[in-house]
Structure 1
Amino acid sequence: MATGLLILVIGRATKIQDLLMAEDKEYVGSLELGVITSTQDADGEVVETRDASAIDEGQIREAFASFTGDLYQTPPMVSAIKKDGVPLYKLARQGKTVQREPRLVHVYSHRIDAISLPVVDFTVVCSKGFYVRTYAHDIGEKLGCGAHLRSLRRTKSGKFGLERSVTFEELKHGDRRELLGRLLSLPEVSRLRGA
């Protein structure tokens, strides 16, 4: 379901992978009000539907605004976070639900791009560890009608954006010389990061 930017590091750059992954992210997403799924996104099974017809634009804007700045977010069961050494998604596949500790995350900014009820398109800039599908779910709960994430595209990770990205198809079948010319060297990465 998720698409967009994925940073790949090779060679000596693998030493700074954690540093790169810790940077802020920008996502463009779409949520659907009134439909709750088992995974908080369109890949899950519908577990509940609620009437969202009374929700208006003002309520939507207010709900989004309430999820700005520092906030505690409870990770979804379908995630790679481990409980007693076992990834939560494995427990979820067994039909188990366990207590998850809320984690401090940060929403730097958000923008509502379009509202065509029951669908809301948005852009969010957030910290590492932020679950956009939980964001969609929580906005739906705040509105009292529930919601799930319909689509998601990462458009930025730190200073890296889609403008210099390469598709998997280009990576697999593209001209090697051209691809090598598009790679960023470690000094370029340092300059981009302001280091």
Structure 2
Amino acid sequence: MNGIIVINKPANMTSLDVIACLRRRYRQKKFGHAGTLDPMATGVMVVLAGTATKILPYIQDTDKQYIASIQLGAKYDTDDVFGQIEQEAQIHTDFDFEAVLKTFIGKQHQKVPKASAKKIQGKKMYEYLREGLEVPDVYTDIEIYDVSVIDQQELSFSIDCSSGTYIRSVCRDFGQKTNNLAAMKSLVRTKANGFSIEQAQDLDAQEHVVYPINKLLNLPEIQAPEPDRIRNGQTVQLDCDDDLVLVMDQGENLAIYKRKYEGKNWFSCERGLR
């Protein structure tokens, strides 16, 4: 199998668990993914198979969409209900759910959950937490484009955001804005890397749809002037303005080529795709 498949990740599985299942099913080792989902989360997980794994370094971060819900009344060390309770408090309901959600729209400096995979001095934050060590505050720049109420009683909402946004942090901060302790109760990723939840298939689907790498690789496409030289990874002249391109031959993806000298049309092979 060579190409991209879109899995609707089940709950209670890590992203690596999904990859392991696919390796066993298709009896091939080359599988990777374009973005981790937490074990309790479900939804769109974009998987690269076979030669498609070669494009992983060239995949750009893209905007995401999620459906999530909030639980009030307790603070967890993970900022979701799957961690350890650190504090409990009375629930205050004197807030306008939609109005508070709308205050999250825009660019912001978001505090990263302590139980995250973000690294500090080469060590993941959740590793500090597991070892009982103090976890320093870490912030990241993100943008939230839109937030909409789904169910006011369940405190569920949909959110469109930039890559790198922590929905657990949104739920935690919602609590702070409403004089509550709060955590994320559920999470479904509904859009990622240009794919939607409608395209995502169950892990045990009878047959998975395989998409070409062009669906994920956001590079200009040009036809190979000398296909054999491209196949052999040789330096060639290409008539184009872009510095990084996908070179093709009659619909076949041959290689990613990069401009070798500024202002010159000589390109060298960056990554073969065959």
TM-score, normalized by the shorter chain, greater than 0.5: yes
For residues 140-151 of structure 1, what are the structure 2 equivalents within 5 Å? 140-151=175-186
Q: Normalising by the residue count of structure 2, what TM-score does the alignment of the two structures yield?
A: 0.61
Aligned 8 A contact 1:21 1:128 in 2? no
Q: Identify which of 87, 110, 126 aligns with 1:89.
A: 126
Task: Give the CA deviation at 1:101.
Answer: 2.9
Q: Identify which of 159, 166, 170 aligns with 1:135.
A: 170
Aligned 8 A contact 2:102 2:146 in 1? no
Structure 2 residue identity aligned to 1:120 = L
Q: Greater strand share, 1 or 2?
A: 2
- The 1-side partners of 2:119 and 2:59 are apart by 22
SS at match of 1:30: strand
Percent of pairs identical after alignment? 27
Where structure 2 has 5 or more consecutive residues not aligned to the other structure, the ranges are 1-39, 221-274
Matched pairs, number: 181
Task: Give the CA deviation at 1:16.
Answer: 3.2
Aligned 8 A contact 2:46 2:193 in 1? no
Structure 1 residue identity aligned to 2:116 = S
Task: Give the CA deviation at 1:109.
Answer: 0.7
Q: What is aligned with 2:198? A: 163
Where structure 1 has 5 or more consecutive residues not aligned to the other structure, the ranges are none
SS at match of 2:155: strand
Q: What is aligned with 2:76? A: 37
Q: What do you get for the CA RMSD once the two structures are aligned?
A: 1.9
- The 1-side partners of 2:60 and 2:166 are apart by 14
Q: Which has the higher contact order (CA 8 A, sep 6+)?
A: 1
Q: What is aligned with 1:26? A: 65
Task: Give the CA deviation at 1:168.
Answer: 1.4
Aligned 8 A contact 1:41 1:150 in 2? yes
Per-residue deviation, residues 65-117 of structure 1 (Å, max 9, x unmatched): 1111101111111111111111111110012222233110010111111111x
Aligned 8 A contact 2:110 2:139 in 1? yes
Deviates more, 1:81-90 or 1:14-23: 14-23
Q: Greater helix share, 1 or 2?
A: 1
Q: What is aligned with 2:213? A: 186
Q: What is aligned with 1:113? A: 150
